[in-house]
Amino acid sequence: MKNFSLYFLGAILVAFTGCESVRTKVENRFASPVYQSKIVNVDQRKAFEVARAALAKMNFTYERGGPAQGKIEAIGPMHPSPSAPGTARQISANVKLSPGPESGTMIEILFSEMVEDDFNKRPGQGELTPLRDAPIYEVFFHYVDEELGVKP
Protein backbone atom coordinates (compact mmCIF):
# COMPACT_ATOMS: atom_id res chain seq x y z
CA MET A 1 0.00 0.00 0.00
CA LYS A 2 2.86 2.35 0.82
CA ASN A 3 4.48 1.66 -2.56
CA PHE A 4 1.16 2.39 -4.29
CA SER A 5 1.01 5.78 -2.53
CA LEU A 6 4.55 6.61 -3.65
CA TYR A 7 3.75 5.62 -7.24
CA PHE A 8 0.54 7.63 -7.14
CA LEU A 9 2.39 10.68 -5.78
CA GLY A 10 5.08 10.26 -8.44
CA ALA A 11 2.44 10.03 -11.18
CA ILE A 12 0.81 13.24 -9.93
CA LEU A 13 4.17 15.05 -9.91
CA VAL A 14 4.93 13.91 -13.45
CA ALA A 15 1.43 14.86 -14.62
CA PHE A 16 1.73 18.36 -13.25
CA THR A 17 5.25 19.04 -14.47
CA GLY A 18 5.05 22.27 -16.41
CA CYS A 19 1.88 23.36 -14.61
CA GLU A 20 2.90 26.98 -14.96
CA SER A 21 2.55 26.77 -18.73
CA VAL A 22 -0.76 24.93 -18.39
CA ARG A 23 -1.96 27.53 -15.91
CA THR A 24 -0.95 30.36 -18.24
CA LYS A 25 -2.75 28.73 -21.17
CA VAL A 26 -5.93 28.29 -19.12
CA GLU A 27 -5.80 31.89 -17.86
CA ASN A 28 -5.26 33.22 -21.38
CA ARG A 29 -8.11 31.14 -22.73
CA PHE A 30 -10.65 32.40 -20.18
CA ALA A 31 -9.37 35.95 -19.66
CA SER A 32 -11.42 38.57 -21.44
CA PRO A 33 -9.74 39.84 -24.59
CA VAL A 34 -7.96 43.17 -24.36
CA TYR A 35 -8.67 45.62 -27.17
CA GLN A 36 -6.01 48.19 -28.08
CA SER A 37 -7.47 51.65 -28.62
CA LYS A 38 -6.74 55.03 -30.16
CA ILE A 39 -8.84 58.19 -30.33
CA VAL A 40 -8.89 59.96 -33.68
CA ASN A 41 -10.30 63.43 -34.32
CA VAL A 42 -12.73 62.47 -37.08
CA ASP A 43 -16.35 61.36 -37.15
CA GLN A 44 -17.33 57.69 -37.00
CA ARG A 45 -17.89 57.34 -40.76
CA LYS A 46 -14.40 58.70 -41.54
CA ALA A 47 -12.88 56.53 -38.76
CA PHE A 48 -14.54 53.50 -40.38
CA GLU A 49 -13.00 54.36 -43.77
CA VAL A 50 -9.59 54.96 -42.19
CA ALA A 51 -9.63 51.68 -40.21
CA ARG A 52 -10.81 49.72 -43.24
CA ALA A 53 -8.05 51.25 -45.41
CA ALA A 54 -5.43 50.48 -42.73
CA LEU A 55 -6.55 46.85 -42.64
CA ALA A 56 -6.45 46.67 -46.45
CA LYS A 57 -2.82 47.87 -46.38
CA MET A 58 -2.12 44.94 -44.05
CA ASN A 59 -3.68 42.53 -46.61
CA PHE A 60 -6.80 41.92 -44.53
CA THR A 61 -10.05 41.14 -46.31
CA TYR A 62 -13.15 42.98 -45.15
CA GLU A 63 -15.81 40.50 -44.01
CA ARG A 64 -18.65 42.52 -42.44
CA GLY A 65 -19.57 45.62 -40.49
CA GLY A 66 -20.31 49.24 -41.23
CA PRO A 67 -20.01 52.78 -39.91
CA ALA A 68 -23.56 52.76 -38.52
CA GLN A 69 -22.91 49.44 -36.75
CA GLY A 70 -19.64 50.77 -35.38
CA LYS A 71 -17.68 47.66 -36.22
CA ILE A 72 -15.46 45.97 -38.77
CA GLU A 73 -14.61 42.30 -39.00
CA ALA A 74 -11.73 41.35 -41.28
CA ILE A 75 -9.49 38.37 -41.88
CA GLY A 76 -5.87 38.18 -42.97
CA PRO A 77 -4.29 35.80 -45.45
CA MET A 78 -3.81 32.15 -44.51
CA HIS A 79 -0.25 31.05 -43.87
CA PRO A 80 0.71 27.38 -43.91
CA SER A 81 3.24 26.46 -41.26
CA PRO A 82 6.54 25.29 -42.80
CA SER A 83 7.52 23.50 -39.58
CA ALA A 84 4.25 21.58 -39.19
CA PRO A 85 2.70 20.30 -42.42
CA GLY A 86 -1.09 20.41 -42.36
CA THR A 87 -1.13 23.38 -39.97
CA ALA A 88 -2.52 26.73 -41.04
CA ARG A 89 -2.41 30.13 -39.29
CA GLN A 90 -4.59 33.15 -39.92
CA ILE A 91 -5.13 36.46 -38.12
CA SER A 92 -8.59 37.97 -37.68
CA ALA A 93 -9.37 41.57 -36.76
CA ASN A 94 -12.34 42.85 -34.80
CA VAL A 95 -12.68 46.64 -34.80
CA LYS A 96 -15.13 48.61 -32.67
CA LEU A 97 -15.87 52.27 -33.32
CA SER A 98 -17.51 54.49 -30.70
CA PRO A 99 -17.66 58.17 -29.79
CA GLY A 100 -14.55 59.36 -27.96
CA PRO A 101 -14.82 60.46 -24.31
CA GLU A 102 -14.72 64.16 -25.23
CA SER A 103 -14.68 64.30 -29.02
CA GLY A 104 -13.66 62.33 -32.06
CA THR A 105 -13.98 58.58 -32.42
CA MET A 106 -12.41 55.78 -30.42
CA ILE A 107 -11.03 52.96 -32.57
CA GLU A 108 -10.64 49.73 -30.62
CA ILE A 109 -9.13 46.67 -32.24
CA LEU A 110 -8.50 43.08 -31.25
CA PHE A 111 -6.36 40.79 -33.37
CA SER A 112 -6.77 37.05 -32.83
CA GLU A 113 -4.74 34.20 -34.24
CA MET A 114 -6.58 31.21 -35.62
CA VAL A 115 -4.59 27.97 -35.76
CA GLU A 116 -5.95 24.83 -37.31
CA ASP A 117 -3.53 22.04 -36.44
CA ASP A 118 -4.50 19.28 -38.82
CA PHE A 119 -7.20 20.59 -41.10
CA ASN A 120 -7.40 17.27 -42.95
CA LYS A 121 -8.68 15.47 -39.86
CA ARG A 122 -10.92 18.12 -38.27
CA PRO A 123 -11.83 20.78 -40.82
CA GLY A 124 -13.11 24.05 -39.38
CA GLN A 125 -12.11 23.24 -35.80
CA GLY A 126 -9.25 25.64 -35.21
CA GLU A 127 -8.19 27.38 -32.04
CA LEU A 128 -8.72 31.14 -31.67
CA THR A 129 -6.30 33.02 -29.42
CA PRO A 130 -6.44 36.81 -28.85
CA LEU A 131 -3.08 38.48 -29.44
CA ARG A 132 -1.91 40.59 -26.52
CA ASP A 133 0.72 43.32 -26.92
CA ALA A 134 1.75 42.09 -30.38
CA PRO A 135 3.56 44.39 -32.85
CA ILE A 136 0.63 44.06 -35.27
CA TYR A 137 -1.27 46.65 -33.19
CA GLU A 138 1.50 49.22 -33.75
CA VAL A 139 1.44 48.47 -37.49
CA PHE A 140 -2.33 48.96 -37.61
CA PHE A 141 -2.22 52.30 -35.75
CA HIS A 142 0.71 53.43 -37.91
CA TYR A 143 -1.45 52.88 -41.00
CA VAL A 144 -4.37 54.67 -39.30
CA ASP A 145 -2.12 57.69 -38.71
CA GLU A 146 -0.84 57.45 -42.28
CA GLU A 147 -4.42 57.45 -43.64
CA LEU A 148 -5.21 60.50 -41.50
CA GLY A 149 -2.06 62.29 -42.65
CA VAL A 150 -0.63 62.43 -39.12
CA LYS A 151 3.17 62.61 -38.95
CA PRO A 152 4.82 60.24 -36.44
Residue 150 confidence (pLDDT): 87
Q: Residue 29 pLDDT > 70, yes or no?
A: no
Q: What is the mean pLDDT of the chain?
A: 82
Based on its alpha-carbon atoms, the radius of gyration of the chain, rounded to whole angstroms, reads 21
Residue 61 confidence (pLDDT): 96
Residue 79 confidence (pLDDT): 82
User: Counting beta carbons within 10 angstroms of the beta carbon of residue 127, is it exposed (0 to 12), middle (13 to 18) or buried (19 or more)?
Assistant: exposed
Report d(CA 118, CA 30) in Å as an integer. Answer: 24
Nearest residue to 89 (alpha-carbon basis) of 35, 131, 56? 131
Mean pLDDT to the nearest integer, 69-95: 86
Q: Residue 22 pLDDT > 90, yes or no?
A: no
Report d(CA 125, CA 128) in Å as an integer. Answer: 10
Q: What is the percent of the chain with per-residue pLDDT over 70, rounded to a whole number? A: 68
Q: Residue 73 pLDDT > 70, yes or no?
A: yes
pTM of the model: 0.74
Give the pLDDT band (50/70/90) at residue 80.
confident
Residue 124 confidence (pLDDT): 58
Give the pLDDT band (50/70/90) at residue 70.
very high
Q: Which one has a higher pLDDT value, 50 or 11?
A: 50
Q: Are 152 and 138 in contact (CB under 8 A)?
A: no
